[in-house]
Structure 1
Amino acid sequence: MKRWYLLYCKRGEQQRAKMHLENQGVEVYYPQVSIEKCIRGNVKITHEPLFPGYMFVRFDYEIGPSFTTVRSTRGVADFVRGGVYPKELQGDLVYTLKQLEPTQTVPLPEAEVIDKGTKVTITSGQFAGVDAIYHEPDGEKRSILLVTLISKQVEVHIDNQDIEKK
């Protein structure tokens, strides 16, 4: 009888493990979520694992493949265990996760839109109280500002929560 188990995969090798496990006839559930990310100032949609480093697998160890074969698959680190033997999961858990799997993209958190060239004040941190000019976003939570230090404009990276429009 096929049962669900939880595998721990080697870092960054979940896709490899999934491919090799499926080639062995193992059912694999590797939930991913689409996320909007700000990468180098551009908003892009990326796919990231819902549970980084983990995947659900379903197979019958009595018919094959064995626990050892699955554990030795490229990209797999080991089973999540409850003692010596791999911990068996309730099938309802996985089926519930499949039904709840998001079908929409998770948007970036709403942040105040600041146009390039806008004058801002830094509210906390080492530059607290300093006036600056907004230059561009630096990831999801930070921004690059131009600050005048000793008669020269210098780029500084500041958390968005520490910026206030003038």
Structure 2
Amino acid sequence: MQTDKAIKKWYAIYTRSRAEKKIHDMLLKAGFDAYLPLRKVLKQWSDRKKWVEEPLFRSYIFVRISEAEYYDVLNSPGAVRFITFEGKAVAIPPQQIEAIKQFVDTGQILPDVDLELEPGAMVDIIAGPMKGIHGELLEILGKKKVKIEIDGLGQAVYLELPASHIRA
């Protein structure tokens, strides 16, 4: 039987700004199960446009570790702190990590939606891998997407998702 210290759980690590990819690579090389969700974004420079991958959650990396490995990860260069509640690192359910992976992996053609909601409204996500999560509507991005704030991990997390996936 495994002890609590040997059971591996997912945790969120807060990192130095813009160092997520480097820290993710270092954790993988050190043998840790790390996950950095990325999204493709079209960036505009003065002379060109280019598709680049950037973190879905800025300054956050997810890592699956046992309690015994906690300080090994925390002592990694660039790792600032674990997301905690009342001084203890908060374990993230594996279903939520899988939901994030599915969200990142799905490329969808989004339908136009006429929303009768205003920013500030509380909404439920009713479809897709983030189904069942509640949040606050921050912004309506055209007729296809919305930006929602989800209060989780001790921090606000911002998601852009299809407008058809929410309801009041």
1:1-150 residue pairs with structure 2 within 5 A?
Answer: 1-62=7-68, 65=69, 67-102=70-105
Percentage identity across paired residues of the two chains: 24
CA distance in 1, matches of 2:32, 2:88: 18
CA distance in 2, matches of 1:71, 1:24: 13
Change (3 A) 1:38 1:102: farther
Change (3 A) 1:69 1:19: same
Could you list the runs of 5+ residues in structure 2 that have no partner in the other structure?
1-6, 109-168
The one-letter code of the counterpart of 1:80 is: I
Secondary structure at the aligned position of 2:84 is classed as coil
The one-letter code of the counterpart of 1:92 is: Q
CA distance in 1, matches of 2:93, 2:59: 20
Secondary structure at the aligned position of 2:67 is classed as coil
The one-letter code of the counterpart of 1:32 is: L
**Which shows bigger deviation, 41-50 or 51-60?**
41-50
Shift of 1:53: 0.4
Q: Which runs of 4+ in 1 moved over 2 A?
A: 102-105
CA distance in 2, matches of 1:42, 1:16: 25
Give the alignment's TM-score, normalised by structure 1: 0.57
Shift of 1:56: 0.7
The one-letter code of the counterpart of 1:18 is: H
Shift of 1:41: 4.2
User: Does structure 2 conserve the Cα–Cα contact (< 8 Å) formed by 1:16 and 1:74?
Assistant: no
Shift of 1:86: 0.6
- Select the structure of larger CA radius of gyration: 1
Shift of 1:11: 1.3
